[in-house]
Structure 1
Amino acid sequence: MTRVLTIEDDEVTAREIIAELEQHGIEVDWVDNGRDGLVKAIGPGYDAITLDRMLPGVDGLAIVTTMRQVGVETPVLMISALSDIDERVRGLRAGGDDYMTKPFAPDEMAARVEVLLRRSRGGAVPLTELRVADLELDLMTRNARRSGRDLELLPTEFRLLEFMMRNSGQVLTRMMIFEAVWGFHFDPGTNLIDVHIGRLRKKVDPAGVTPLIRTVRGSGYRLGDA
């Protein structure tokens, strides 16, 4: 059975996570502090981890940083009340694989955990470079290339493309994109996503190449070559 470790000091939130993941057939262990969480996180036996950003004892950033330093590649979904973009970037650079803010919809949390599980089973993605077909994204130098050609991306375009590449092949809802890229956990009712997707398409999918960014009607967007 798939096993997930939940490191969360708020009991109400932890029980929401446990109840939702158990409905998906996932066994969940819960730890309510950072010190015990770190011990379990660097040990064997877990397929994924949900990790609170702010914990007593040892905070979430320290936990995921230590995991990566000692070579533990268990996928991590960071969950936090801190919703600003700098915190998201900090969490992902520390080694987190995804980041969502509180309050969150339990079913979306479970969907994100399942994305991490599928990606992990398909082979770990290098922490410093993402690749989808002939599209490359270097997370250290912040450079993007398609078919050997450099892409000039604005900061928001880079974050949007990074999120789509980390979840390639998956349908990403507008809500998921708003939360991951802009820090909103609600739909502001604007065409913000459509405008940025349109600009990104012009750079990633110019004439003469196979389109990678696809619109899934009524659902959202997907990045992939099939």
Structure 2
Amino acid sequence: MSTEETAGHRVLVVDDEPNIVDVVSMALRFQGFEVATAGTGEEALAQVDAFRPQIMVLDVMLPDMTGFDVADRLGAQRGLVPIVFLTARDATEDKLRGLTSGGDDYVTKPFSLEELVARIRVILRRTGQATEDASVLRFEDLELDEDTREVTRAGHSIELTDTEYRLLRYFLRNPRRVLTRAQILDHVWDYDFGGDARVLETYVSYLRKKLDGVTTPAGEPVAPLIHTARGVGYALRAPRRPA
């Protein structure tokens, strides 16, 4: 499920910790989701009616009630709103209660944002809200299949290293967006990466050479797709067309 395919999918994030809400909401918006938030169980129930989310990320420990209580009170609406429980409670009995009380998944804190987003996508596919071709990310004449890890440009197969693959996948999940160097380092090399930003420049150079080293079916050179935003970072966008 690409960024363009997730656009319009509504996610409700419910947690009483503002920093968790901010981080999760930002990650989801970067992936093209529409996001609403709530800090209590009552607010969550109200947002289900007002925002009509297609999936909910729900903390178990809320100020006014538990996430399990929220799931119970959704009643008939529960079947329309898949739930990913997000909590620091990692005891087996808590996980079992979450999964048997109507939860579709159970993620414990601390957690990986990339994993959380991936689990949300899986649930959307399972509930029929994603397209059958959701695993293929496309932009212009560039394609990446997340299931087979195959990459093609203008019909040519392109071999990538694991790091190049993860870098390209992040660009394809955020087409036309200017991504800062810090954002790319965080998402591709993980949040604790403490290396030199020149590593990123090196891998962008490698990726450009591979993506731009093929020709169109007419035998003409392909146009570059990865562009530099000076002083900021990079963006995957179509080349400017002649006026």
Instruction: Report the TM-score, using the length of structure 1 for normalisation.
Output: 0.58
Q: Is the contact made by 2:180 and 2:232 (CA closer than 8 Å) also made in structure 1?
A: yes
Aligned partner of 1:203 among 210, 223, 234: 210
**Cα shift at 1:154:** 0.5
**Cα shift at 1:219:** 1.1
Count of paired positions: 173
Q: Aligned to 2:179, what secondary structure does the other structure show?
A: coil
**Cα shift at 1:127:** 2.7
1:154 is matched with: 161
Aligned partner of 1:29 among 38, 43, 59: 38
Aligned partner of 2:179 among 163, 172, 177: 172
Q: Is the contact made by 1:7 and 1:51 (CA closer than 8 Å) also made in structure 2?
A: no
Q: Is the contact made by 2:59 and 2:87 (CA closer than 8 Å) also made in structure 1?
A: no
1:11 aligns with 2:36: no
**Cα shift at 1:66:** 3.8
Q: Aligned to 1:194, what secondary structure does the other structure show?
A: helix
Q: Aligned to 2:227, what secondary structure does the other structure show?
A: strand
Deviations 1:19-61 (A, max 9, x none): 99xxxxx7522343264479789646xxxx99858666459xx
In 2, the alpha carbon distance for the partners of 1:92 and 1:19 equals 11
Deviations 1:108-158 (A, max 9, x none): xxxxxxxxxxxxxxx989531000000000000000000000000001111
**Cα shift at 1:179:** 1.0
Q: Which structure 1 residue ranges, 4+ long, deviate > 3 Å from structure 2?
A: 14-20, 34-44, 49-59, 78-83, 90-97, 123-126, 185-190
Deviations 1:165-207 (A, max 9, x none): 0000000111111111110356633411001000000011226
Q: Is the contact made by 2:13 and 2:25 (CA closer than 8 Å) also made in structure 1?
A: no
Aligned partner of 1:194 among 179, 188, 201: 201
CA gap of 1:58–1:176, structure 2 versus 1, over 3 A, is farther
In 1, the alpha carbon distance for the partners of 2:211 and 2:104 equals 35
CA gap of 1:92–1:214, structure 2 versus 1, over 3 A, is same
Aligned partner of 2:191 among 184, 191, 204: 184
Aligned partner of 2:236 among 220, 223, 226: 223
Deviations 1:55-90 (A, max 9, x none): 66459xx8xx948xxxxxxxxxx996445xxx84x5
Greater Rg by CA: 2
In 2, the alpha carbon distance for the partners of 1:167 and 1:54 equals 30
CA gap of 1:15–1:218, structure 2 versus 1, over 3 A, is same
Q: Is the contact made by 1:6 and 1:51 (CA closer than 8 Å) also made in structure 2?
A: no
Provide structure 2 residue ranges, at least 5 long, that are not aligned to the other structure: 1-9, 27-34, 40-57, 61-66, 123-129, 215-220
In 2, the alpha carbon distance for the partners of 1:184 and 1:7 equals 23
Q: Is the contact made by 1:128 and 1:140 (CA closer than 8 Å) also made in structure 2?
A: yes
Q: CA RMSD in A?
A: 4.3
In 2, the alpha carbon distance for the partners of 1:137 and 1:200 equals 13
Q: Percent identity?
A: 30
CA gap of 1:5–1:214, structure 2 versus 1, over 3 A, is same
Q: Aligned to 1:202, what secondary structure does the other structure show?
A: helix
In 2, the alpha carbon distance for the partners of 1:181 and 1:213 equals 16
